[in-house]
Amino acid sequence: MEKQIQPVTRLSGAVTVPGDKSISHRAVMFGALADGVTRITGFLPGADCLSTVDCFRKLGVQIEQHSATELSVHGAGLTGLQEPVDVLDVGNSGTTARLMLGILAGQPFHCTVTGDASIRKRPMGRVATPLRQMGAHIDGRDGGRLAPLSVRGGNLQGIVYESPVASAQVKSGVLLAGLFAEGETGVREPEMSRDHTERMLQAFGVNVGQRDGTITVQGGSRLTATDIHVPGDISSAAFLLVAASIVPGSDVTIRGVGLNPTRTGILDVLLEMGAQIEVLNERVEGGEPVGDLRVQGSPLRGTTVRGEIIPRLIDEVPVLAVAATQAEGVTEIRDAAELKVKESNRIATTANELRKFGADVEELEDGLRIRGGVKLKGGAVIETHHDHRIAMSMAVAALVADGPTTIRDWESVDVSFPGFAELLQNL
């Protein structure tokens, strides 16, 4: 489906954004492994999280969907999953694939995991390698590095895994396998990635240790069902934060946004660029910090983004690049080579699609260099590369172009932000 986006003169109003994608996935998975019934509210009904629901139903877990955002997961207990009768299809979702592989590594049965064309290109060796070290049998294309992957799990031994990448998906996959392993399992990473798994396992009653940067769990730890309220996704709020910052005269409030410090890099960088963002009503809900964000249009200046902040804003780089096109001076984003293995190669796709607006964007080996202050041109025809965050980032750029923009394959937005177009319209 194609979408036409018209430039706007101002955005204003108060909105909520859909539930956090990372937290929604984990709530379903941990609920599936728990003893008792987990009730989830604020669930993200995006295609990715629905893939997780579908896979765990195929693994024998009863999941009731009361409304788009309310689910009850009837936990099967730590050893209650069943061998699926068919392939487990994760769709576009890397989080489903990598976290579920960790769980499947601990199951004494066989299954096959696959996904869409993007998933079948994304590196799975990064999680399969440590899971094999623990004793799981995992095979697949390209020497066992690409989906479809076949898994026969069970009889795992705890390891201490030194991950070469800062990846919450790798960390979580290994820790989840650790629940099924003998002894203790630990993970270390070069920089700290998002910690929703650690927080939520604790909410489910699991003892998660931390010693000198190594996160640990004990094999055989049981999960006790709990109620999870999912906060709004800061990665979705990011599109509105940038949109309201670059459209002069805007005033937008986004209520109930998750503000976990491992996710708020986008706020730090936008503030440094001169954005006017206020954090209001800070509170803690279900072990996660939450607040309301008020953002007003303001002139931005270029900045350099590199080093340990990168994992704290990795999913926000495409929209940050849009902000940079409207900032005075040069913005450089480095140490972000991980972007090449996201839903699309986001270094290439961000640069190529932004250039269609006339933006001055240079592709670097590990990031982007953007010369800002360029008036964006209307008339661009954008290819999303089936990447939801590219679609929405380019829609934000389209708001400040001097004519309408066409975005192809708009439906990819439903992966993480169903209703994005309507919400923008309301603002």
By annotation, the residues acting in catalysis are 315
- Neighbouring C-alpha atoms within 13 Å toward the C-beta of 273: 35
Q: 170 or 370: whose CB is closer to ligand S3P?
A: 170
The site map against ligand S3P for 166-205 (x = CB under 6 A) is -xxx--x--------------------xx-----------
Note whether 315 binds ligand S3P by CB under 6 A. Answer: yes
At 264, phi and psi to the nearest 5? Answer: -95, 20
Whole-angstrom Cα distance, residue 343 to residue 346? Answer: 8
CB of 123 to ligand S3P, least distance (A): 9
| Closest CB to ligand S3P among residues 168, 424 | 168
Nearer to ligand S3P, 52 or 331 (CB): 52
Q: Minimum Å distance from CB 15 to ligand S3P? A: 22
Closer by beta carbon to ligand S3P, 168 or else 174: 168
* Neighbour order of strands in the sheet with 381-382: 3-5, 405-407, 381-382
DSSP 221: P
Residue 314 as a binder of ligand S3P (CB under 6 A): the answer is: yes
Q: Is 401 in the site for ligand S3P (CB under 6 A)?
A: no
Tell me which of 5, 11, 17, 22 binds ligand S3P, using CB under 6 A.
22
Residue placing its CB nearer to ligand S3P in the complex, 166 or 359: 166
- Does residue 266 interact with ligand S3P by CB under 6 A? no
**Count of residues engaged in binding ligand S3P, rule: CB under 6 A:** 11
Buried b (16+ CB within 10 A) or exposed e, 291-309: bbbbbbbbebebbebeeeb
Q: Least CB distance from residue 176 to ligand S3P, whole Å?
A: 11
Compare residues 24 and 185 and give the one whose CB is closer to ligand S3P. Answer: 24
| CB of residue 122 to ligand S3P, shortest distance in Å | 9
Q: Is there binding between residue 118 and ligand S3P (CB under 6 A)?
A: no
Residue 422, token pair as written in the block? 């309507």
* Contacts for 263 with CB less than 8 Å, ≥ 6 apart: 194, 234, 235, 312
How many helices and strands in the chain, by DSSP H and E? 13, 25
Please state the closest distance from residue 28 (CB atom) to ligand S3P, in A.
12
Point out which residues pair with 370 in neighbouring strands: 331, 361
Smallest gap from Cβ 251 to ligand S3P, in A, equals 29
- Give the CB-side neighbour count of residue 194, counting CA atoms within 13 A: 26
Helix, coil or strand: residue 174: helix
Interacting positions 27-86 with ligand S3P (CB under 6 A): none
CB of 126 to ligand S3P, least distance (A): 8
Q: Using the rule CB under 6 A, is 92 a contact of ligand S3P?
A: no
Residue 95 near ligand S3P by CB under 6 A: yes
Give the binding range for ligand S3P (CB under 6 A) out of 27-35, 72-80, 162-170, 258-266.
162-170
On the 0-12 / 13-18 / 19+ scale of CB atoms within 10 A, 30 is buried
Q: How many residues does the chain have?
A: 427
CB contact set of 212 (below 8 Å; sequence gap of 6+): none
Q: With CB under 6 A as the contact rule, which of the stretches 63-71, 164-172, 280-288, 397-405 interacts with ligand S3P?
A: 164-172
Neighbouring residues of 171: CB distance < 8 A, sequence distance ≥ 6? 163, 187, 189, 193, 197, 215
Judged by CB under 6 A, the stretch of 37-45, 105-113, 163-171, 356-364 that binds ligand S3P is 163-171
Minimum distance from residue 425 beta carbon to ligand S3P (Å): 26
Q: What is the DSSP letter of 245?
A: H
Interaction pattern, residues 319-358, with ligand S3P; x per rule: CB under 6 A: -------------------x--------------------
The H-assigned helical ranges of 105-233 are 125-134, 141-144, 168-178, 196-203
Task: Give the amino acid at 184.
Answer: E
Give the angle subtended at the CA of 159 by the CAs of 156 and 164, to the nearest 5°: 120
- CB contact at 8 A, 151 and 106: no
Site residues, ligand S3P (CB under 6 A): 22, 95, 167-169, 172, 193-194, 314-315, 338
